[in-house]
Amino acid sequence: MTSITPQNAPIIDIAGGVDTHQDTHTAAVIDTVGRVLGTEQFPATPTGYTALLTWMHAFGQLMKIGVEGTGAYGAGLARLLRAEGIEVIEIDRPNRKTRRFQGKSDPIDAIAAAKAALAGDRTGTPKQRDGRIEALRNLRIARRSAVDQRADTQRRIKALIVTAPDDLREQLRHLPAKKLITTCAALRPDTADAASPATATAIALRSLARRHQQLTAEISDLDDLLDPLVAAINPHLIAANGVGTDVAAQLLITVGDNHDRVHSEAAFAMLCGVAPLPASSGKTTRHRLNRGGDRQANAALYRVALCRLRWDPRTRAYMERRTHDGMSKKEIIRCLKRYIARELYKAITQNDQENTD
């Protein structure tokens, strides 16, 4: 690590870059023509964040700082910088081809972050993580984990039933899911006979079924918190056709508390991975599927499209018309997701405009 502290130098405009890690952050400072003025490592603590900012200010007038991972290891630093009025730029992962030529180290990555912030290349405005949507994100993390674990528990119950003794298997194999969980949770095997495969199977089924019930109760408790929170954050979004609490929560989390960072509905569509990408050449004009963006937001828009295809007359009429034009169902759903993104972006921004009035 090197650091070149200016001695009696005139005040110049500078840009900073930070490569963030769990325990340390490596910072770099460059001038407006990209010359490296210094690099230094600081602990990833509040004291370290303050020392990092003081060190950067010693080089000149700080214009902006590019930070990798503002939503992970750089979250604490980003909060401090915003509180100090410093413009924070979210830096994407460096281009792989460039990294192969330049090599990789923490100072190299910090310098690359500073240059990217200065040039505006592969950058974005980071999410603010100090509002109600951040609280919503934290609650959904717990809920999604509980949902995943409950689904895994149910799969394991059914796998055990496949190899269970004949009498137990015949008793359980045809039961619907809800009745199956209740029946397994009510089993009363003799734990003193746990060495017997049949008894051990019953014990395992009871344990898994009770775990399933506990997770269901946990999900219900979280839903009781999420439903009013999402409705309070954006009632227009939750009222849209086909949009429930889960879909609305995911779209709000994708955009973040500072919705103005997504400057247009086209940008929102790209963020959600539903904007078709041009793939034309010569006399051929076509678009291809966008595999980028937030895949969870993409899945949320897909669920809205399926719901409207089932219940919304206008969407069903659109499906019939485009099918008559020769489009496949997948292509039609891709088009629908793009239209839905446009509509829901308006709902999000309409809520923002009312909050600022």
In the predicted structure, residue 102 carries a pLDDT above the cut 80: no
% of residues, the chain, pLDDT over 70: 92
Region of poorest pLDDT, from 140-149, 244-253, 323-332:
323-332
Q: Where residue 9 falls among pLDDT bands split at 50, 70, 90? A: low
Q: How far is CA 123 from the centre of its chain?
A: 17
In the predicted structure, residue 223 carries a pLDDT above the cut 60: yes
Q: Give every CB contact of residue 350 below 8 A, 6+ residues apart in sequence.
A: 236
Q: Where residue 287 falls among pLDDT bands split at 50, 70, 90? A: confident
3 state SS for 56-104: HHCCCEEEEEEEECCCCCCHHHHHHHHHCCCEEEEECCCCHHHHHHHCC
What pLDDT sits at residue 175? 94
Q: Residue 76: exposed, middle, or buried by beta-carbon count in 10 A (0-12, 13-18, 19+)?
A: middle
What pLDDT sits at residue 311? 93
What pLDDT sits at residue 170? 93
With beta carbons less than 8 A apart as the criterion, state whether 45 and 60 touch. no
- If one counts every other C-beta atom within 10 angstroms of the C-beta of residue 272, the result is 30
What pLDDT sits at residue 7? 53
Q: Which two tokens stand for residue 203?
A: 């014990």
The span from the CA of 123 to the CA of 200, in Å, is 56
The span from the CA of 290 to the CA of 277, in Å, is 6
What pLDDT sits at residue 308? 95
* CA-to-CA dists, residue 347 to 195, 258, 343, 344, 351, angstroms: 60, 15, 7, 5, 6
**Closest-CA residue to 124 (of 26, 262, 257):** 262
Q: Where residue 8 falls among pLDDT bands split at 50, 70, 90? A: low
13-124 homologous superfamily? ATPase, nucleotide binding domain (3.30.420.40)
What pLDDT sits at residue 53? 95
With beta carbons less than 8 A apart as the criterion, state whether 105 and 185 touch. no
| DSSP one-letter string for 285-305 | --EE----S-HHHHHHHHHHH
| First-to-last C-alpha distance (Å) of the chain | 50
| Residue-wise pLDDT tens digits, 44-101 | 999 999 999 999 999 999 999 999 888 889 999 999 999 999 999 998 876 666 666 6
Region of poorest pLDDT, from 114-123, 259-268, 269-278:
114-123
With beta carbons less than 8 A apart as the criterion, state whether 97 and 121 touch. no
Of the spans 242-256, 284-298, 342-356, which averages the highest pLDDT? 242-256
Tokens 């709000």, residue located: 252
What pLDDT sits at residue 290? 82
The span from the CA of 274 to the CA of 344, in Å, is 13
Domain boundaries, the chain: 13-124, 132-233, 236-356
**Closest-CA residue to 187 (of 200, 171, 203):** 203
Residue type at 307 in one-letter notation: C
